[in-house]
Structures are given as C-alpha cells and as structure tokens.
Chain A
C-alpha cells in the first residue's frame, strides 16, 4: 500500500489538473482567437484553450495507457509529428474538409474507445489517432499567429500537447486498481459526452 501511495497521489493530481484544464478551457470550439506568437506562454496555453482539444489529447494518453506497450509510447511519439504535419498543411492553406467535425469526432470516438477499453490492431490504432492528429494540427495551424519567436511558440505549444498526453497516461494508471476500470469508463463517458456536445456545436454553427 505504501508503494502505491505516491502513484495514487500522481493520479489524483493528474485528475485534478484535467478538471482544472477543462474548467479553464472556454465553452467554444478549440483553438485561440488571437494571442501573441512572441510569447512562450501564448504557445503553452494555446492547446488548453478549447475543451474539445483538451479532452481529445487526454483521451489519446488514456487510450495509450489502456492499450499498453508499444502503443503507450508509440502514440505520444507519433502524435506530435503528425499533428505538426497537419499544422503545416493548415499554415500552407492546403484545403482539408471537415476539420471541426473531425475534431469533435475525435473526442467522441476516443472517449468510446476508452470507455470500453477497446483494443484495436496497432496499425489501425496508429491510423485512427494519426487522422485525428491531422485534424487537430490543421485547426491549430490555420490559427497559429505570426510572430518573432515562432519556434519557441511552436515548441511550447507542442510541449503543452505532449503534457496533456502525459496526464492521460498517468490517469490511465488507475487501471491497475480494482476500481480503475470503473473510473476509466466514467472518464471515457465524459470525453465522449464532450465529443457529442462539440458535434452539436459544429452542427449548429
């Protein structure tokens, strides 16, 4: 019990952090309205300014934790790069249809996958998460502001996204305990609900 206490504290902290981030994020769709590219803080806060993005990133980590190795490390390594590729497409104004729908669907699908602790073949997992990463990255790329320290902005933005994955992975550690699967089900349901809500927002827009 004593060995598990520090892990439990980390999980509880991650849970509180997730709730805080969800409260911090505005009710509107993901991604900033403005913000200075010259600021590391702006880049760091960029990914947490939309609840749909926050829950999808946490869900990627949660699902990775559910799947275990190698997905648990493959997803956090691959996701930022594919997301940046999407961002590049967005910055270059390459047309990509259904971006907002794709983002909302990512929360819904990932939430359901976490809820039922579904295991897919690794290639399919990678393709699915990669597709969602593309949508999220594209939306961010379109809205990335210009500025003096673009690389710093981009780096802090990517780090913030990566930390959201880490929060998800840490939360996923609850699966080790008897009550863990129930918590995962609840977390998945909340994420899926945010996805449904985002879809209605997209439909209403």
Chain B
C-alpha cells in the first residue's frame, strides 16, 4: 500500500462529515496542513491571512479537477517530498518572501486537492459535499494553528514550533525512504 492513502471515510453522517473525517485520517494531508499552518504563523499575521485565503481555495480547485480527471494516481513521492520540505522550512523558521510563500501554498493546495479529487468520485459518486467537508476542515485547522503561532511571543513556544517542524521533516524523510524501499 502506498504511504499516501487518501481514501474517503464513511462516517454515516453524509458527505460533508466524510470529508472532515478524511482530513484527520489521512496523515500526509493533515501533516501538510499542520506544517503550512505553523509556517504561516512564523511569517506573521499576513502569512496566516494568505494561508486562509489560498490553501482552501486551491485545494478546492485541485479537488474539482481531480474529480473530473479521476486518475488512479497517488503522487505519493511528490506529496511526501512537499511535506518534508514544509517541515524543513518550519524547523529552520525561514521568513519567506510573500510571493514565494503564496505560490508554495497554492501549489500545495492544488496538488493535494488533486489527489483528494482522484479518490473521491469512485467512492462517493462525486458529491462535492465531500470536498467541501475537506476544505472546511482545512480552513479551520489552518486558521487555528497559524493564528496561535503568529500570536505567540514566548521564545519557548517558538522553539516548540521549530521542533514540531523538525519532527514533520524527519517523518517525511523516513517515509520517503520507505517509499524508495517498497
């Protein structure tokens, strides 16, 4: 089985809740959103605003494209590399140029949305509520994390954020190794 496993969970409450649950049971997606939330918070309030504006919308676009194309691709390598890169950026606490950050977030959203979209039509009949649930969950998680990080002034918490980034990067690296070995 691939490292990235974006299967839609059936909660029994309908597509919207399936989509919400999907984010929380898909480690690659969740790690990316958490990582981007941390990175956005490190960029300050403007970073958080950019993340909230760009990530859900591009994820939605990518998802819609994926549902139409419906390829059987997991893009596991690309997704895992992206998660690793985000982890490294958080660990190094780099202040990125706003354009670079915006483009990075948009590409991430498009890619991960695309992969989500690939898996959704076959299992749910292509109901867009699923995608809406995913995007809503992403928006909430992204805004909660980025706002908290942006608001924090305590150096210990800023270090903790970098440590979490290093954990994400390390997990991504190991997952890449496991992908290479399979």
Contact surface of A with B, Cβ cutoff 8 Å: 37, 73, 76-81, 83-85, 87-88, 90-92, 141, 144, 146-152, 154-155, 157-159, 162
Q: Mark B121-158, 1 if CB is under 8 A from A, else 0.
A: 00000000000000000000000000000000000000
Whether B48 is near chain A, meaning CB under 8 Å from some CB there, is no
Q: Decide: B171 and A88 in contact? CB cutoff 8 A.
A: no
Secondary structure of the A contact surface, majority rule? helix
In whole angstroms, how far apart are the Cα atoms of A144 and B173 in the complex? 13
Interface residues on B, range: 20 to 34
> Most chain-A CB neighbours within 10 Å: which of B167, B169, B180?
B167
Beta-carbon contact of A73 and B91 below 8 Å? no
Contact between chains at A144 and B177 (CB < 8 Å): yes
> Which residue from B162, B165, B167 sits with its C-beta under 8 Å from A155?
B167
Task: Report chain B residues within 8 Å CB of A79.
Answer: 166
B171 partner residues in chain A, CB cutoff 8 A = 84, 151, 154-155, 157-158
**B159 contacts A by Cβ under 8 Å:** yes
Closest Cβ neighbor of A38 among chain B residues: B1
Assuming the contacts A85-B173, A151-B171, asked whether A91 and B181 have C-beta atoms less than 8 A apart, the reply is yes
Assembled-state Cα–Cα distance A26/B4 (Å) = 33
Cβ of A80 and Cβ of B166 under 8 Å apart?
A: yes
Q: Which of A37, A147, A150, A158 contacts B170 (CB 8 A)?
A: A158
